[in-house]
Amino acid sequence: MAFTEPKETYSGKVYPVTIGTGDKAVTCGGENVLPFHSFEGITPSRPVIAIEIQDVPPADWPDTVRKPYDAVSGDPVSWATFCQDELKAKALALRLVGTHPDRENRSPADAVKTVKDVLAAVQVPLIILGSNHAEKDTSVLVAVAEAAKDKNCIIGKAQEANYKTIAAASMANNHKLIAMSELDINLSKQLNILITQMGFDKEKIITDPMCSALGYGIEYTYSVMERIRLAALTQNDVTMQQPLLGDVGMYVWKIKEASAPEADLPQWGALEERGIAWEAETAAALMIAGAGLLIMRHPRAIKEVENLIDELV
C-alpha cells in the first residue's frame, strides 16, 4: 500500500506585508500554513531579517556585538550604508534611542534629520523605531513618519498608551505599523482591533507580542506567538493574521550569558561564540513559533539564521 503523507489544512492565512519601494522592497507573511510547513500549503515569503542600527553609538552594547560596527557606528548613515553594502542587509531597523529622555533626549527635529539622512543613503526598506518611551515616542514617531512619507517604512512601536497618534501618523503618510502589547494574546488582539477601528488597514499591521531571550522566558513568548498563529490559521481570526515581529537583538545582548567575561565563567565557553549562538538560537525559536520579521544585531548570528532559513525553505 502506498504511503499517503498526512497533511493539515487551515481556513485562515497570514496577511502579506510589503515594506520598502522599488526592487529592494521585501515581503513577509502570506502563508496559509504553520511556519516552514511548505509541504502543506503556500509559503510565498521567507522570514525577513532586519539589521539593527541606532542614531547614537551603541555604548551599551557588549564589546562582542559592538566590535563589528566600531568603524561605522559613530554615524548612523555610515552604519546604514555598511549594513546595506557590506553585509547585504535586506532591511534595516533604525532605533532612535537617542531621543529617550534618560539618554541624549534628542528632539523630534533631530530624529527627522537622522531618518532623512539614512533614507537618502540607502535603498533597502527601513523600520523606524522609537526609544520605547511612550510619551516621547508619540512626538518623535509622528515627526519621522511625516519625514519619510511614501517610503513605505514600518513605524513603531505603537502601544496602548500612544497608538492613536502613531497609527494616525503612519496611516496619513503611507507606512506600515508595529503594534506592541505585553506578552498576552488577548491584549495583542485588543490592540489590533483598536487600531483597525481607527480606519487603519488590518493588512498593514505587524504584531509585536514582545520578545524574550533564550533562557529568559522564551517558552512563554513562544507560546503566545504560537497561539496567535494558530488563531489566525485554524480559527480564521482576522484580528490575529498579521505577521509577527521578533525584536531579538535588544533582548539577547543585555543578558548575562551574552556579556559575562570568560575569566568569571570559563565553563560557559568562549564569550563571542556564546553570544552569537544565543542570538541565533533565540531567533530560530521565534521563527518556528511564527515570527516572519526579525530584528538582529550580530552579523555572524544573522548569517547562521539565514543559513537555517535556506535549509528550512
Render pLDDT for 91-143 as a digit per residue (tens, 0 to 9): 999 999 999 999 999 999 999 999 999 999 999 999 999 999 999 999 999 99
Q: What is the CATH number of the domain that holds 217?
A: 3.20.20.20
- 9, part of any domain: no
Give the CB-side neighbour count of residue 49, counting CA atoms within 13 A: 29
- Collapsed DSSP state (helix, strand, coil) of residue 169: helix
Q: What is the pLDDT of residues 291-303, one digit of tens each?
A: 999 999 999 999 9
Task: Determine, yes or no, domain membership for 153.
Answer: yes
State which residues form the domain around 170: 17-312
Average pLDDT over residues 188-215: 96
For the chain, what is the domain count? 1
pLDDT at 64: 95
Name the one residue in this structure whose C-alpha cell is 519601494: 21
Question: Are the C-beta atoms of 64 and 298 separated by less than 8 Å?
Answer: yes
4 within domain boundaries: no
Question: pLDDT tens digits for 208-261?
Answer: 999 899 999 999 999 999 999 999 999 999 999 999 999 999 999 999 999 999
Tell me whether residue 212 is in a domain.
yes
The confidence score (pLDDT) of residue 124 equals 98
Residue 168, pLDDT score: 97
Residues near 102 by beta carbon (within 8 Å), at least 6 away in sequence: 133
What's the average model confidence in pLDDT over 172-199? 96
**What is the model's pLDDT at position 11?**
94
Q: Is residue 100 part of a domain?
A: yes
Q: How far apart are the C-alpha atoms of 259 and 267, rounded to whole Å?
A: 14
What are the tens digits of pLDDT across the range 92-102? Answer: 999 999 999 99
Q: Strand, coil or helix: what is 132?
A: coil
Q: Is residue 8 domain-resident? A: no
2 vs 5, 9, 236, CA distance in Å? 10, 21, 33
Residue at 3 is within a domain: no
Residue 136 lies in a domain: yes
Taking the C-alpha atoms of residue 112 and residue 56, their distance in angstroms, rounded to an integer, is 14
User: Per residue in 31-84, pLDDT tens?
Assistant: 999 999 999 999 999 999 999 999 999 999 999 999 999 999 999 999 999 999
